């Protein structure tokens, strides 16, 4: 199994541009999550999904959108990128929201200038 | 979720046991204690979790005090590859929906050769 994969690894955006961060998992997990990590800080939850077609906001959803059309994929969309969105973005998945451990991808480092 | 307090950083000699403390004095009865770690520039990695009994797996042991107000993660024979930021997370276990993880700043554990 590849686990959780994320593309791209790095990206530089200009202010106002848009992009989609890709996330895929091959573990047949229903639960998927997007986090962001600012320098020297812990992770903050952006959006999560409990299954295909179902998504909900986390702690810091403003400026982002998500969709979940399949179990495997959970893309994160940035519209009108701002410097405050410069961060490392991690996608994660788990088989259970109750006790299951979350498996994280390698992250996407995004810089908005 | 209850708040956790961890030391900012700790050193440990290679081959010795690393004991990482975590204070969670406001923990409630339905909250589990989780530990994750993050090696530089990688996604977080699950280590162990527990409710009130001590737990052990192939990576570490988790000791939770009887009053559950604090816990200690023990890496029995630390290696250089254990150098990472260790996060103690207290998490409410709910019956439905998805629960993201709330990461603080963690403890930066440095294993010295």
Q: Does B58 touch chain A (CB under 8 A)?
A: no
The percent of residues in chain A predicted with pLDDT above 90, rounded, is: 84
Which of B46, B96, B100 lies at the smallest CB-CB distance from A33?
A: B100
Which of B43, B97, B104 lies at the smallest CB-CB distance from A50?
A: B97
Q: Collect all residues with Cβ–Cβ distance below 8 Å to A16 and sequence separation of at least 6.
A: A80, A81
Phi, psi dihedrals of residue B17, rounded to the nearest 5°: -80, 135
Phi, psi dihedrals of residue A109, rounded to the nearest 5°: -95, 115
Are B43 and A104 in contact (CB < 8 Å)? yes
List of chain A residues whose C-beta atoms are within 8 Å of the C-beta of residue B42: 106-107
With CA atoms as reference, report the closest residue to B31 among B71, B72, B74: B71
pLDDT tens-digit profile, chain B (113 residues): 568 999 999 999 999 999 999 999 999 888 899 999 999 889 999 999 999 989 999 999 999 999 999 999 999 999 999 999 999 998 876 655 556 788 888 999 999 99
pLDDT digits (tens, 9 = 90+) for A72-111: 999 999 999 999 999 999 999 998 766 668 999 999 999 9
CA B66, B89, B87, B26 dihedral sign is: negative
Closest-CA residue of chain A to B94: A98
For residue B57, give the DSSP letter: -
């Amino acid at each position: 199994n590849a686990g959780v994969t994320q593309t791209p690894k790095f990206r530089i955006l200009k202010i106002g541009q848009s992009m989609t961060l890709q996330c895929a998992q091959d573990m047949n997990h229903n639960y998927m999550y997007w986090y962001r990590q600012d320098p020297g800080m812990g992770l903050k939850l952006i959006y999560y999904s409990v299954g295909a077609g179902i998504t909900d906001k986390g702690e810091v959803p403003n400026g982002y959108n998500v969709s979940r059309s399949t179990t495997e994929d959970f893309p994160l969309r940035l519209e009108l990128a701002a410097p405050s969105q410069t961060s490392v973005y991690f996608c994660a998945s788990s088989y259970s929201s109750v006790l299951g451990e979350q498996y994280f991808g390698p992250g996407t480092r995004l810089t908005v200038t | 979720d209850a708040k956790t307090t961890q030391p900012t950083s700790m050193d440990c000699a290679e081959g010795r046991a690393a004991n990482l403390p975590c204070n969670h004095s406001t923990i409630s009865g339905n909250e589990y204690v989780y530990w994750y770690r993050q090696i530089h520039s990688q996604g977080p990695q699950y280590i162990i979790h527990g409710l009130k009994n001590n737990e052990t797996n192939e990576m570490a042991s988790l000791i939770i005090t009887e009053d559950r107000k604090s816990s200690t993660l023990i890496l029995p024979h630390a290696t250089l590859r254990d150098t990472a930021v260790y996060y103690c997370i207290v998490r409410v276990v709910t019956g439905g929906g998805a629960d993201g993880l709330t990461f603080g700043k963690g403890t930066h554990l440095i294993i010295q050769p």
